[in-house]
Structure 1
Amino acid sequence: MSTDPTGDIILNNLLYSCLSEKKRGNEQFVPEHTLGIMLSGESQLLTPRGNRIAREGMIGLIRRNQLVKALKVPGEDGQFRSISIFLTQDALRRYSAAANITASGPYTGDPLLELPPDPFLEGFFHSLMPYFDQPGRLTSQIADLKTNEAIELLLQHNPRLSYFLFDFSEPHKINLEAFMNQNYMYNVPVSKFAQLTGRSLAGFKRDFEKIFRTSPRQWLMQKRLSEAYYMIKEKGRKPSDVYLDVGFENLSHFSFAFKKTYGVAPSMV
């Protein structure tokens, strides 16, 4: 078991979040299919396809390789609580082979699905809670069984989810310029941008410099600072409310980079 800087408890491929104050999630890239339930509070999600709200009691399924920003908001009980299980590609490939289930082609539907209420899926998540109190009881064998149980319950819930779960194709090559102008504010490594545009890291950097005439890191810095300047100067927003929105990790780094570029602290604009 490990606890990340946000206070989330990570146990094998399980994640339990419990917060008593509004907080932004650090993770902005979803590497594996993720099945989760909102136990209390809500999660406000910013995605390239628009904003979503995951409310208390909702069960959702997020497709892998997604850019998502999350704001976790406690509910009336004063807490934000959620449980997620990551359905890895290895686990899904093993299940697919054993059950002889395949997807007929690439999945083209919504990458963020809200599932109708299901007492069996709800019961599944509640069955995970004791393991966060006694993590030693979650052996690798039980973790595998729980993962397979989640997959089986999803397929019983809706057999057509096989198209979602068992599409093992990787992102195809897409328009790099349009993608970056839409998604520069997500704070993920350049290697993830390369993956999402269907390129190797070397190919991404080569194509990027042909289009933008600069390196990805330099362009991202200038693009984020330019947007921050606009938000502060023209929209009257506070630097402390802006830096996360445009893709910086912390306020001090943002303030240093801003002053270096514009000659004044962001609070003085």
Structure 2
Amino acid sequence: MSTKPNTKSKILYSCYYSRSREGEHFIPEHVFSYQISGEMIASDSKNTFHTKPGDFRFSRRNHLAKFTKIPPEGREFKTISLFLDQEILREISKEYNLKSDKKPDSKAMFSLAPHPLYKSFMESLISYLEVEQENNEALFNLKIKEAIHLLLKVNPELKDILFDFNEPGKIDLEAFMNKNFHFNVQMHRFAYLTGRSLATFKRDFQKVFQQTPGKWLLNKRLQEAYYLISQGNLPSDVYIGVGFEDLSHFSFSFKKKFGIVPSSLNHK
């Protein structure tokens, strides 16, 4: 697996030789992506999205989603992703007096119809990204601005998403957590997405669930894993899906809670 340039850049050229599933499931910035080869399967709490070669995808900031990257047989999975950070978007908003006029829908991501301007723009980036370069931040910032203007030209309706600078408001904690417990994110992400400081999130959580967030998440994920494995799913296919990063930690926690190893459920 390789990712060029380094992860501090706003533009990433990702190459994977084997099937891969992402770690943390939080999308911190809007992302404009082009699928060069291989396939991407992504899901939020409601929908599943399937991206194939030649497809363009828009992922929205402050959302939770899981991504599985599937390379073609004997070849690489390749994508280009541009992270449309808030600083640049605010700069463009001020310069061109662009503002969000209405609240956009809540989809975490969606497909963009193929367009010659999108394709020529993405192909122009490949020569930059296939060669390691230093001190390219200024160039990439210009490319990010170009991408934003291009998105607005081809899909003007994206203005309401790109220039919506509102932060998440305080929402129903119980409903949110029961819907999103299986996403592998740090606690401060859950707090932010429910419109709370970390301290307030922990205090409200204790009132609602009578448990700490960490203990509740562990038990909830293990209960979901127990059900899925008892229905015939393999532990190796389940542990990431319910929010664990490591199979050995999952197996240890599962045995500690239920007194049996996860694989034994498949043989009952």
With structure 1 as the length reference, what TM-score do the two structures score?
0.93
- The reply on whether 1:19 has 2:16 as its aligned counterpart is yes
The counterpart of 1:8, out of the listed 3, 28, 32, is 3
Structure-2 separation of matches of 1:242 and 1:158: 38
Q: Secondary structure at the match of 2:244?
A: coil
Q: Which moved more, 1:246-255 or 1:118-127?
A: 118-127
Q: Tell me: CA distance 1:46–1:108, structure 2 relative to 1, closer, same or farther (3 Å).
A: closer
Q: Secondary structure at the match of 1:35?
A: strand
Contact 2:41 2:48 (C-alpha < 8 Å) held by counterparts: yes
Structure-2 separation of matches of 1:210 and 1:81: 46
Deviations 1:33-67 (A, max 9, x none): 00001111111111112111111111111110111
Count of residues in correspondence between the two structures: 263
1:59 maps to amino acid: F
Contact 1:131 1:138 (C-alpha < 8 Å) held by counterparts: no
- The reply on whether 1:232 has 2:222 as its aligned counterpart is no
Structure-1 separation of matches of 2:73 and 2:118: 24
The answer for the alignment partner of 1:3 in structure 2 is: none
- The reply on whether 1:69 has 2:66 as its aligned counterpart is yes
The counterpart of 2:88, out of the listed 79, 88, 91, is 91
Contact 1:106 1:169 (C-alpha < 8 Å) held by counterparts: no
Unaligned ranges ≥5, structure 2: none
The answer for the alignment partner of 2:77 in structure 1 is: 80
Unaligned ranges ≥5, structure 1: 1-5
Q: Secondary structure at the match of 1:247?
A: coil
Q: Secondary structure at the match of 2:245?
A: coil
Structure-2 separation of matches of 1:134 and 1:232: 45
- The reply on whether 1:212 has 2:209 as its aligned counterpart is yes
The answer for the alignment partner of 1:191 in structure 2 is: 188
The answer for the alignment partner of 1:255 in structure 2 is: 251
Taking only aligned residues, the RMSD between alpha carbons, in angstroms, comes to 1.6
Q: Percent identity?
A: 44
Q: Secondary structure at the match of 1:245?
A: coil
The counterpart of 1:121, out of the listed 118, 121, 134, is 118
The counterpart of 1:149, out of the listed 121, 136, 146, is 146
**Following TM superposition, by how much is the alpha carbon of 1:193 offset from its aligned partner in structure 2, in angstroms?**
0.7
Contact 2:49 2:110 (C-alpha < 8 Å) held by counterparts: no
Runs of 4 or more consecutive aligned structure 1 residues displaced over 6 Å after TM superposition: none
Contact 2:10 2:141 (C-alpha < 8 Å) held by counterparts: no
**Following TM superposition, by how much is the alpha carbon of 1:111 offset from its aligned partner in structure 2, in angstroms?**
3.7
Q: Secondary structure at the match of 2:183?
A: coil
